[in-house]
Chains A and B, each alone.
Chain A
Amino acid sequence: MARAPILDIQGLAVKFNGRRVLKGIHLSVEQGEIVSLIGPNGAGKTTLFNAITGLVRPSAGSVRFCGEDITGWPAHRICWAGIARTFQIARPFPEMTAEENVRIGIWFGKRKKELPRSRNTREEARRLLHLVGLEGKEETPGRELTLSEQRRLEVARALATAPRLLLLDEIAAGLSPQAVSHAARLVRALRDQGTTILLIDHFLNLTARVSDRLLALDQGETIAEGSPAQVLHHPEVLSAYLGERHPHTGSGEIP
């Protein structure tokens, strides 16, 4: 393939107080792909997202996005470049309404001069809330939403920044089967509109249904990479998961 990958991670390492939490991850994602990150709790999946989005400084390695080296950029510039994320443990703005939460993403998600001059941000925010199934909650303050509503708000808010690459951290954990189907449809629809998606799916709710490719992490290292069938039956992946308390069973609340 001649085309450069949209995301290209080389030898990415992260240390916390001398402890190596990520030990040289390589990952490259093509435009329009859906890639899943799986692995047991504490494998370093969320830390990888934090390093990509500028919330954690890598101790080694590089992150290139659309050909540009974004390693060490501040978080807001990475957002402007076109990467958005959700938080595993939702972080709504507690005193703002759901609609205001989303409008922050619309207003600040791109450089000021790149924003269209006159646009109806209110309408746009409502459309995004509708898309994630939060219609009727527009005026509810962030802190009054239920946990599952807060997680959907995370998705709407990330989409509000009009990302080219969307990082979803455990959006399907603890959801009902219908809600998982809804999430899977949403993820596919976003990809069809041209958004590239990297998703963390510890409980393997979404992975098999939507991903083109899987990356399995354990203790900060890649233990398998490939198609869903290859990775899910890889002996190291099985043993990493079986070493845990709750293996393949569909749902479970995030810790």
Chain B
Amino acid sequence: MKKEGLRRHLLWTLVVLLALGLWPLGGWHTLLVCRVLGFAFLFAMVTVAWNLVALSGLISLGHAAYFGLGAYAAALLDHYSGAQVPVTLAVAGLSAAAYGAVLAVAFQRLRAASYALATLASVEIPKVIADNWESFTFGSLGLVGTRPLPTISVAGFAVDLSHNIMGQYYFLMTFLAVACAIHALAIHSRWGWALRAVREDERAAAVLGVDVFATRFTATVLSAALTGVCGGLYAHLMGMTEPDLVFNLHISAMPLVFAILGGRFRWYGPAAGALVLYSVDQLVLHPWLPAGHAAVYGLVIMVILLFFPKGIGSWPAPRS
């Protein structure tokens, strides 16, 4: 990357981070906006995670499987053992990662549409189990009363992450920052170059010494783990976990839309796409057009694709 471009990138990143970090302190925010942005951070994290697999040249339509597994792992662990939130989140990530590892091995020969279809189908297995194992998962009713996020102590202050919406906002922002850091590595590290080579020409990559399977496996497992943690966070934020809610096709499709609109090949692209689109939909389209917001949302997506074919993330970058 050129020096000039790098400086502009850093500048933009700083501006956005300062804006997101400082504006709630100005006092002219509303709690609603903070709450919505908190969820935007969560879904941005799912989008960033999804893009790790996309960077290896595979489009997944099954990230709801990891999200749902994470949500159920956290909710079940909370229900049956009363484990603390950091533990439930870790187990959420590990369960999803394990499923991701199994799928990465099982689907290693699949590409393009067959891979997309196979991942789409992979959501059904955990969903059917959650739906039908009533004695353990409470079936389609799901689990309720999952404990809210705990109160943590930050520099001597007690912050209740479930009622203090601002605290929640910064908490979720931190998770997104970690996901973005991993995503930046998936673009700019040695592993990032392996991903790029695999994506651009798998056979050429293989004969030049790139371990194609290991490269994709790492991406899939990391992606599944991050998505599983998001599912866990969701269970604690919502306090309930139902099969139809967390194994929902919408959760699989959303990162695809956000990442492609945000720009898949820049480290901030998927996150930017998710933050902008989710907030515009929730804060502008929903309140103004309760009935027709989905249509306008569709229109927004089409306009972005027309004017920014490489995603809105390509806008602040210098023209090449």
Contacts and interface: CB of A to CB of B under 8 A. Distances in A.
A107 B195 CA distance: 13
B207 A93 contact: no
Contacts of A71: none
The interface centre, meaning the residue of A53, A74, A75, A95 with most chain B CB atoms within 10 A of its CB, is A75
A126 interface: no
Contacts of B207: 53-55, 75-76, 78-79, 84-85
A45 interface: no
A158 B207 CA distance: 9
A105 interface: yes
Contacts of A76: 206-212
Nearest to B211: A76
A94 to B, nearest CB: 6
The interface centre, meaning the residue of A85, A94, A96, A110 with most chain B CB atoms within 10 A of its CB, is A96
B6 interface: no
A94 B200 contact: yes
A93 B203 CA distance: 10
B191 to A, nearest CB: 11
A91 B198 CA distance: 12
Chain B at the A interface: SS class: helix
Contacts of B204: 87, 91-93, 157
B193 interface: yes
Query: B interface, how many residues as a size bin?
Result: 10 to 19
Contacts of B201: 91-94
B47 to A, nearest CB: 22
28 contacts: A53-B207, A54-B206, A74-B213, A75-B212, A76-B206, A79-B206, A79-B207, A79-B209, A80-B209, A84-B208, A93-B200, A93-B201, A93-B204, A94-B200, A95-B196, A96-B197, A103-B193, A104-B193, A104-B197, A105-B209, A107-B193, A108-B197, A108-B205, A108-B208, A109-B208, A110-B209, A157-B208, A161-B208
Interface in A106-162: 107-110, 142, 157-158, 160-161
Interface of A: 53-55, 74-76, 78-80, 84-85, 87, 91-96, 103-105, 107-110, 142, 157-158, 160-161
Contact of A79 (B194, B208, B213): B208
B196 A93 contact: yes
Interface in B76-117: none
B190 interface: yes
Interface of B: 190, 193-194, 196-197, 200-201, 203-213
Given A93-B196, A96-B196, A107-B190, A55 B208 contact: no
Given A76-B209, A93-B204, 9 more contacts: A76-B210, A79-B207, A79-B209, A91-B201, A93-B200, A94-B201, A103-B193, A108-B193, A161-B208
Given A91-B204, A93-B201, A94-B201, A108 B196 contact: no
B99 to A, nearest CB: 25
Nearest to A102: B208
Contacts of B210: 76, 104, 108
A9 B43 CA distance: 54
The interface centre, meaning the residue of B206, B208, B210, B212 with most chain A CB atoms within 10 A of its CB, is B208
Contact of B209 (A87, A91, A95, A108): A108
A76 B213 CA distance: 10
Nearest to B208: A105
Contacts of A85: 207
A130 B178 CA distance: 42
B200 A75 contact: no
A161 B207 CA distance: 9
A99 to B, nearest CB: 13
Q: A-B pairs with the 9 shortest C-beta distances? A: A75-B206, A108-B209, A93-B200, A79-B209, A91-B204, A109-B209, A105-B208, A76-B211, A108-B210
B200 A95 contact: yes
Nearest to A81: B209
B209 A93 contact: no
